[in-house]
Amino acid sequence: MSTEIVVMQVFNGVSLFTILLLMSIGLAIVFGLMGVINMAHGELMALGAYVTYLTAGAFSHYAPQWMDVYLFVAIPVAFVATGAFGWLLERGFVRHFYNRPLDTLLATWGLSLIFQQTYRSVFGPQEVSVPLPAWLSGAWEPFVGIQLPLNRLFIIGLTAVVTVGVVLLLTRTRWGLRVRAVTQNRPMSAAVGIDTNRIDAMTFALGAGLAGIAGCVFTMIGSTNPGTGQLYIVDAFIVVVFGGVQSLIGTALSGLAIAQSQTTLESVMSGSMARVTILVLVIVVLYFRPNGLFARKARS
Amino acid sequence: MVGKSTNRASQTSPCGHPPPLPASRLLQERKRPPSRLPYRINPALQRLPPRLLGASGTLLTRPAFAQETVKLGLLHSLSGNVAIAEASLVDAEKMAVEEINAAGGVLGRQIELIVEDCASDNSVFAEKARKLLERDKVAAIVGCYTSASRKAVLPALNRAKGLLFYPTYYEGLEQDKHVIYTSQEATQSVVAAVEWLAREKGKSFFLVGSDYIYPRTCNKIAKPTIARVGGKLVGEEYAPLGHTEFSSIINKIKAAKPDCIYSTVVGGSNVAFYKQLRAAGLDGTKQTLLSTVVSENEIEGIGKENAAGYYACMGYFQSLKNPKNERFVKAFKAKYGAGRVIGDPMQVAYNSVHLWARAATVAKSFDPEKVRDAAANIELDAPEGLVRVHATNQHVWKKVRVGRAMPDGQFDIVWESPNPIEPNPFPKL
pLDDT tens for each residue of B117-132: 998 899 999 999 999 9
- Which residue type occupies B95? M
Q: Which residue has the higher pLDDT, A129 or B80?
A: A129
- H or E element that contains B97: helix B83-102
Instruction: Please state, in angstroms and as integers, the Cα–Cα distance from residue B148 to each residue in B122, B123, B214, B267, B268, following that order.
Output: 7, 10, 11, 15, 18
Distance of CA B345 to the CA centre of its chain: 3
Q: Which residue has the higher pLDDT, A248 or B112?
A: B112
- Measured CA to CA, the distance from residue A299 to residue B154 in angstroms comes to 59
> Is the CB of B79 less than 8 angstroms away from the CB of A125?
yes
Asked if B115 and B51 sit in the same domain, the reply is yes
Distance of CA B103 to the CA centre of its chain: 23
* Partner residue opposite A126 with nearest CB, options B255, B272, B301: B301
A152: contact with B, CB 8 A cutoff: yes
Q: How many contacts, defined by CB atoms under 8 Å, are there between A and B?
A: 138
Most confident of the ranges A30-34, B25-29, B83-87, B152-156 = B152-156
> Is the CB of B245 less than 8 angstroms away from the CB of A19?
yes
Asked if B138 and B43 sit in the same domain, the reply is yes
Residue of A130, A151, A121, A123 whose CA lies nearest to A53: A130
Instruction: Please state, in angstroms and as integers, the Cα–Cα distance from residue A125 to each residue in B24, B82, B248, following that order.
Output: 25, 8, 29
Contact between A13 and A259 under an 8 Å Cβ cutoff? The reply is yes
- pLDDT at residue B82, as a whole number: 80
- pLDDT at residue A1, as a whole number: 60
DSSP state of B280: T
What is the mean pLDDT of the segment spanning B396-422? Answer: 96
Instruction: Please state, in angstroms and as integers, the Cα–Cα distance from residue B316 to each residue in A287, B221, B336, B398, B400, following that order.
Output: 53, 21, 19, 10, 7
Most confident of the ranges A28-32, A240-244, B383-387 = B383-387
A267: contact with B, CB 8 A cutoff: yes
> Is the CB of B248 less than 8 angstroms away from the CB of A263?
yes
A225: contact with B, CB 8 A cutoff: yes
- H or E element that contains B270: helix B268-279
- Measured CA to CA, the distance from residue B293 to residue A185 in angstroms comes to 55
- Measured CA to CA, the distance from residue A79 to residue A74 in angstroms comes to 8
In chain A, % of residues over pLDDT 90: 48
In chain B, % of residues over pLDDT 90: 70
Asked if B19 and B168 sit in the same domain, the reply is yes
- H or E element that contains B54: helix B54-61
Instruction: Please state, in angstroms and as integers, the Cα–Cα distance from residue B415 to each residue in B196, B231, B312, B315, B362, following that order.
Output: 8, 20, 11, 11, 34
- Measured CA to CA, the distance from residue A46 to residue A222 in angstroms comes to 11
Whether residue B176 lies inside any domain: the answer is yes
Q: pLDDT grade, residue B26 (50/70/90)?
A: very low
Pairing of strands B69-76, B110-117: parallel
* Partner residue opposite B240 with nearest CB, options A2, A227, A272: A272
pLDDT score of A274 more than 60: yes
From B45-49, B175-179, B315-319, the region with the lowest mean pLDDT: B45-49
In chain A, whose CA is at the least distance from the CA of B237? A270
pLDDT, averaged across chain A: 88
Whether residue B405 lies inside any domain: the answer is yes
Query: Could you please report the per-residue DSSP string of B160-221?
Result: HT--EEE-S-B------TTEEE-S-BHHHHHHHHHHHHHHHT-SEEEEEEESSHHHHHHHHH
- Measured CA to CA, the distance from residue B420 to residue B400 in angstroms comes to 8
Of chain A, the end-to-end C-alpha distance in Å amounts to 51
Whether residue B295 lies inside any domain: the answer is yes
Asked if B390 and B408 sit in the same domain, the reply is no
Residue of A184, A229, A231 whose CA lies nearest to A203: A184
Q: What backbone phi and psi angles, to 5 degrees, belong to B378?
A: -65, 140
A118: contact with B, CB 8 A cutoff: no
- Hey, what's the torsion of the CAs at B245, B251, B257, B258, to 10 degrees? -20
CATH of the domain at B114: 3.40.50.2300
Interface test with B, best of A126, A151, A218, A232 (most B CBs within 10 A): A126
pLDDT score of B279 more than 80: yes
Query: Could you please report the per-residue DSSP string of B55-71?
Result: HHHHHHH-TT----EEE
Q: What backbone phi and psi angles, to 5 degrees, belong to B152?
A: -70, -30
| 3-class secondary structure per residue, B123-141 | HHHHHHHHHHHHHCCCCEE
Beta strands in B377-427 (DSSP E): 379-382, 385-389, 396-397, 401-405, 411-416
Pairing of strands B401-405, B288-291: unpaired
What is the mean pLDDT of the segment spanning A176-198? Answer: 89
In chain B, % of residues over pLDDT 70: 84
Whether residue B424 lies inside any domain: the answer is no
CATH of the domain at A12: 1.10.3470
Instruction: Please state, in angstroms and as integers, the Cα–Cα distance from residue A21 to each residue in A13, A85, A161, A250, A257, following that order.
Output: 12, 22, 12, 11, 11
Residues in chain A with CB shorter than 8 Å from the CB of B78 are 125
- pLDDT at residue B18, as a whole number: 44
* Partner residue opposite B255 with nearest CB, options A1, A266, A275: A1
Most confident of the ranges A1-5, A143-147, B306-310 = B306-310
In chain A, % of residues over pLDDT 70: 98
- H or E element that contains B155: helix B147-160
Whether residue B172 lies inside any domain: the answer is yes
Whether residue B429 lies inside any domain: the answer is no
- pLDDT at residue A235, as a whole number: 87
pLDDT, averaged across chain B: 86
Give the count of domains, chain B: 2
> Which residues of chain B are at the A interface, by a Cβ-Cβ cutoff of 8 Å?
78-81, 83-84, 86-88, 211, 237-240, 242-245, 247-249, 251-252, 254-255, 268-272, 275-276, 278-281, 297-298, 300-306
Asked if B387 and B407 sit in the same domain, the reply is no
List all residues of chain A from 12 to 41 with a beta carbon under 8 Å from chain B: 12, 15-16, 19
Whether residue B32 lies inside any domain: the answer is yes
Instruction: Please state, in angstroms and as integers, the Cα–Cα distance from residue B226 to each residue in B208, B260, B265, B416, following that order.
Output: 14, 11, 19, 20
Most confident of the ranges A55-69, A235-249, B120-134 = B120-134
- pLDDT at residue B15, as a whole number: 42
- pLDDT at residue B278, as a whole number: 87
Residue of B222, B233, B273 whose CA lies nearest to B249: B273
- pLDDT at residue B209, as a whole number: 93
Whether residue A191 lies inside any domain: the answer is yes
Asked if B130 and B193 sit in the same domain, the reply is no
- H or E element that contains B289: strand B288-291
Asked if B301 and B351 sit in the same domain, the reply is no
- H or E element that contains B313: strand B311-314
In chain A, whose CA is at the least distance from the CA of B301? A127
> ipTM for the complex?
0.81
Residue of A213, B48, A142 whose CA lies nearest to A150: A142
In chain B, whose CA is at the least distance from the CA of A7? B251
> B138-164: string of b/e by CB count within 10 Å (b at 16+)?
bbbbbbbbbbebbebbbebbeebebbb
Interface test with A, best of B78, B82, B91, B245 (most A CBs within 10 A): B245
Count CB neighbours of A168 within 10 A: 11
Range of the domain at A173: 3-288
Whether residue A58 lies inside any domain: the answer is yes
Give the count of domains, chain A: 1
Residues in chain A with CB shorter than 8 Å from the CB of B279 are 137-139, 149-152, 221
pLDDT tens for each residue of A137-178: 778 888 887 888 888 999 999 999 999 999 999 999 999 999
Q: pLDDT grade, residue A296 (50/70/90)?
A: low
pLDDT tens for each residue of B335-371: 999 999 999 999 999 999 999 999 999 999 999 999 9
Q: Which residue has the higher pLDDT, B166 or B275?
A: B166
A7: contact with B, CB 8 A cutoff: no
pLDDT tens for each residue of A90-146: 999 988 888 888 888 999 999 999 999 899 889 887 778 888 888 887 788 888 878
Range of the domain at B34: 1-184+324-336+344-397
DSSP state of B23: G
Q: Which residue has the higher pLDDT, A54 or B5?
A: A54
> Is the CB of B249 less than 8 angstroms away from the CB of A266?
yes
Asked if B121 and B258 sit in the same domain, the reply is no
> Is the CB of A231 less than 8 angstroms away from the CB of B237?
no
Any alpha helices (H) in B303-404, and if so which ranges? 304-307, 323-336, 344-363, 368-375
- pLDDT at residue A14, as a whole number: 92
| 3-class secondary structure per residue, chain A | CCHHHHHHHHHHHHHHHHHHHHHHHHHHHHHHHCCCCCCCHHHHHHHHHHHHHHHHHHHHHHCHHHHHHHHHHHHHHHHHHHHHHHHHHHHHCHHHHCCCHHHHHHHHHHHHHHHHHHHHHHHCCCCECCCCCHHHCCEEEEECCEEEEHHHHHHHHHHHHHHHHHHHHHHHCHHHHHHHHHHHCHHHHHHCCCCHHHHHHHHHHHHHHHHHHHHHHHCCCCCECCCHHHHHHHHHHHHHHHHCCCCHHHHHHHHHHHHHHHHHHHHHCCHHHHHHHHHHHHHHHHHHCCCCCCCCCCCC
CA atoms within 13 A on the CB side of A281: 17
Please state the pTM of the whole predicted model: 0.81
DSSP state of B417: -
Asked if B133 and B223 sit in the same domain, the reply is no
A18: region left, alpha or beta (phi > 0 left; psi from -120 to 50 alpha): alpha
- Which residue type occupies B270? N
Asked if B180 and B47 sit in the same domain, the reply is yes
Contact between B256 and B233 under an 8 Å Cβ cutoff? The reply is no
Distance from CA of B211 to the nearest CA of A (A): 7
In chain B, whose CA is at the least distance from the CA of A137? B279
Query: Is the four-CA dihedral B111, B357, B181, B264 of positive or negative sign?
Result: negative
Contact between B360 and B371 under an 8 Å Cβ cutoff? The reply is yes
> Is the CB of B279 less than 8 angstroms away from the CB of A137?
yes
* Partner residue opposite B238 with nearest CB, options A16, A19, A271: A271
Contact between B70 and B163 under an 8 Å Cβ cutoff? The reply is no
Asked if B234 and B350 sit in the same domain, the reply is no
Residues in chain B with CB shorter than 8 Å from the CB of A18 are none
Of chain B, the end-to-end C-alpha distance in Å amounts to 40
